[in-house]
């Protein structure tokens, strides 16, 4: 309760320009919107000042109405209106038998084909797959990590790695020993 009181949005009056923006976004019934389309939407409802558009988006992001990564150059061009769109795609990867059989490894080609062809009844376009992969990576959701020494853009999902570590014996005969 004390944490909630400390949030900057608590106790402040909702700026009047946020209400029509929120209502217009809710009426779209889309999973996401490009930032460019967001600006057009704001202009269409007479919220034309760039600073008001940015402030409205920040406020809606802060209260959880949308998801937007303003300071991430890879993700700042997309505004997520339906978080289930992201959750469904990521969850489908986490429960996928192929990834578990590969000890948590996958490559970008496999992932995009999977999302574009086999995730429930929903299909994801190439650009959407790029955004979803960027969300999964370190510095966002930390669900997967790119393997550095690979040209095929391979990734690792630690949650899908085997629970038991493989047996390994270490030969100490020629090892460095500290006294």
Question: Is 158 strand, coil or helix?
Answer: helix
Greatest alpha-carbon pair distance for the chain in Å reads 76
Each residue's pLDDT tens digit, 92-125: 999 999 999 999 999 999 999 999 987 666 788 9
Question: Is 104 strand, coil or helix?
Answer: coil
The model's pTM: 0.79
Q: For the chain, how are helix, strand and coil distributed in percent, rounded to 5?
A: 45, 10, 45
Answer whether 39's CB lies under 8 Å from 51's CB. Answer: no
| Strand positions, DSSP E, the chain | 32-34, 67-68, 78-80, 105-107, 145-146, 154-156
Out of 37-51, 124-138, 147-161, least confident range: 147-161
All residues at 6 or more sequence positions from 165 whose CB lies less than 8 Å from its CB, including other chains = none
What average pLDDT is seen over the chain? 87
Quick one: pLDDT at residue 171?
Answer: 77
């Amino acid at each position: 309760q004390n944490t909630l009181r400390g949030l900057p949005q608590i106790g402040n009056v909702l700026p009047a320009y946020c209400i029509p923006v929120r209502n217009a976004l809710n009426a779209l019934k889309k999973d996401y919107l490009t930032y460019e389309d967001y600006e057009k939407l704001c202009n269409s409802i007479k919220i034309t000042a760039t600073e008001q558009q940015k402030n409205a988006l920040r406020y809606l992001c802060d209260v959880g109405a949308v998801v937007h990564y303003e300071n991430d150059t890879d993700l700042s061009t997309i505004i997520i209106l339906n978080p289930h769109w992201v959750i469904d795609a990521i969850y489908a990867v986490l429960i996928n038998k192929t990834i578990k059989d590969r000890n948590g490894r996958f490559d970008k080609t496999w992932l995009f084909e999977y999302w574009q062809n086999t995730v429930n009844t929903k299909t994801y376009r190439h650009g959407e797959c790029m955004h979803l992969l960027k969300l999964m990576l370190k510095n966002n959701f930390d669900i997967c990590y790119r393997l550095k020494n690979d040209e095929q853009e391979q990734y690792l999902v630690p949650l899908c790695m085997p629970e038991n570590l493989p047996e390994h014996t270490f030969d100490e005969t020629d090892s460095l020993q500290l006294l």
